[in-house]
């Protein structure tokens, strides 16, 4: 059943939403036992919301099950960003994006699994006590990261469903590609970050993941808009994204990004991307090769310097005093206590990025690393802006490989693991909207292409994706 049809049946009373949500929760439990897509299933909240919807079936999302990445605050539901250091933390408020979807009748079914604080590309850098989500097409392979649980449950669930993910350097389009679903990372500031547990303040973005581009358009319209509670929220008009689905793409221009960027592209991924370009050509879209030499050379090092620097600052507040995990003082000094808590509850990757980011910001290193990275980031933005004077969007593979096996990931060096994001970090550095579109199966595994647009041009990406959509 399509989302639009389901919402209509909820509003007409044809679907008993309370009974339906009981079945949804049971299905989620069964899926979770096998695939580990949830850190927390919010059964009590979901049933309470279903009761309210049954009494008053209103809103653009009336009765629709929605899963939420674990780093987005949901009032009264344990929210840990995939980290043991936040065990037991239940927010006293909803994130702005959550408030908006609840107002439109969404039912929150749970918090999805992720890399600890978003630190990873495979959803394998789990916090202590958390399980890795398994790819919905092959349990020996990963879901992609860091919104891996979002991508997995969207693909695996039999019920109409949208998930809210979060991206810092590719954490929406990466798992969308590996799980064969759509994933939209909007313009930085288009969706309020209020209530989002920070990884990198200047990089983090909340966006939707779904099986249908119509669902992406529906959800993006709802969660977008200015928020007086959040300083980076953009005060600019929000498009009716659903209207772009019906627009013709004939005459649009797309730049084909040099496929040599970063690591080499696997042949099946390259072929699927070229097939997608051919389909756009057949629809009247003009596609030409373009290059991003500055982004190609500096994207990865600049991203990791800026992201780690911001992460080391943001994670300083997790010290066992105000919320989350704690320990006994036992006469120890504050430094000894903080060290004990952080050593025990933070994972290896979190510690690594704290150390890297602290080094990049420290006296004597700040100008050479963090400030220089920020200056180069401006050059990356300028490089994209020059292309958008000519092109409506840019196209590339979302990720350069098919979903890898866990034992293959274990063999990667740290540098190899970081460069998996070679195609996705530059749009995130520039704060540009980008959308992963499923391209079908290769050897029983999903693949995706990524469209990148100019700031606030999410509509054009949806327009192009809709032209590729199979009814």
Catalytic residue annotation: 69, 146, 171
Nearest to 226, CA basis, from 236, 217, 211: 236
Gap between the Cα atoms of 445 and 75, Å rounded: 37
Return left, alpha or beta for 236; rule: phi > 0 is left, psi -120 to 50 is alpha, else beta.
beta
Task: Estimate the crossing angle of helix 17-35 against helix 43-55, to 10 degrees.
Answer: 160
Residue 46 CB contacts under 8 Å (≥ 6 apart), including other chains:
21, 24, 25, 65, 107, 108, 109, 110
Gap between the Cα atoms of 164 and 53, Å rounded: 20
Q: Which two tokens stand for residue 347?
A: 């994972």
Q: Which two tokens stand for residue 213?
A: 């581009």
Rounded to a whole number of angstroms, the CA Rg of the chain reads 21
Contact 344, 350 (CB under 8 A): no
Task: Estimate the crossing angle of helix 96-103 against helix 213-223, to 10 degrees.
Answer: 110
Gap between the Cα atoms of 100 and 97, Å rounded: 5
Burial of 3 from C-beta contacts in 10 A (0-12 / 13-18 / 19+): buried
Query: Which residue shows structure tokens 């943001």?
Result: 314
Gap between the Cα atoms of 109 and 24, Å rounded: 8
């Amino acid at each position: 059943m399509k989302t639009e049809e389901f919402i209509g049946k909820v509003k007409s009373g044809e679907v008993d939403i309370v009974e339906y949500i009981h079945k949804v929760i049971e299905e989620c439990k069964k899926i979770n036992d096998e695939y580990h897509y949830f850190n927390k299933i919010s059964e009590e909240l979901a049933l309470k919301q279903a009761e309210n919807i049954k009494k008053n079936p209103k809103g653009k999302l009336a009765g629709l099950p929605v899963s939420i990445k674990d780093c987005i605050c949901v009032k009264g539901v344990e929210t840990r960003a995939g980290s043991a250091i936040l065990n037991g933390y239940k927010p006293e408020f909803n994130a702005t994006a959550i408030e908006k979807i609840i107002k439109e009748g969404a039912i929150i079914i749970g918090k999805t699994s992720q890399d600890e604080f978003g630190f990873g590309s495979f959803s394998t850098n789990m916090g202590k006590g958390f399980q890795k989500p398994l790819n919905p097409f092959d349990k020996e392979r990963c879901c992609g990261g860091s919104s891996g649980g979002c991508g997995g449950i969207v693909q695996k669930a039999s019920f109409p469903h949208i998930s809210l993910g979060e991206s810092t350097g590719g954490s929406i389009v990466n798992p969308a590609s590996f799980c064969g679903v759509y994933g939209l990372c909007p313009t930085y500031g288009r969706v309020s970050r209020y209530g989002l547990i920070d990884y990198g303040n200047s990089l983090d973005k909340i966006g939707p993941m779904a099986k249908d581009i119509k669902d992406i358009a529906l959800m993006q319209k709802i969660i977008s808009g200015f928020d007086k509670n959040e300083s980076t929220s953009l005060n600019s008009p929000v498009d009716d994204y659903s209207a772009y689905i019906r627009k013709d793409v004939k005459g649009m221009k797309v730049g084909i990004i040099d496929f040599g960027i970063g690591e080499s592209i696997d042949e099946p991924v390259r072929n699927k991307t070229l097939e997608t370009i051919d389909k756009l050509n057949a629809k009247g879209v003009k596609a030409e090769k373009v290059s991003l030499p500055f982004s190609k050379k500096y994207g990865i090092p600049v991203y990791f310097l800026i992201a780690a620097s911001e992460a080391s600052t943001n994670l300083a507040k997790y010290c066992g005093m105000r919320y989350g995990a704690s320990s006994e003082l036992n006469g120890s000094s504050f430094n000894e206590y903080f060290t004990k808590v952080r050593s025990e509850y933070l994972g290896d990757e979190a510690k690594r990025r704290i150390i890297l980011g602290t080094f990049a910001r420290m006296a004597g290193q700040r100008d050479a690393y963090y400030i220089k990275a920020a200056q180069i980031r401006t050059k990356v933005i300028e490089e994209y802006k020059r292309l958008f004077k000519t092109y409506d969007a840019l196209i590339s593979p979302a990720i350069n490989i098919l979903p890898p096996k866990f034992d293959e990931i274990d063999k990667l060096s740290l540098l190899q693991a970081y460069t998996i994001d070679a195609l996705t970090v530059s749009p995130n550095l520039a704060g540009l909207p980008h959308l992963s579109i499923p391209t079908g199966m290769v050897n029983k595994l999903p693949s995706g292409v990524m469209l990148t647009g100019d700031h606030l041009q999410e509509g054009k990406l949806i327009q192009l994706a809709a032209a590729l959509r199979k009814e």
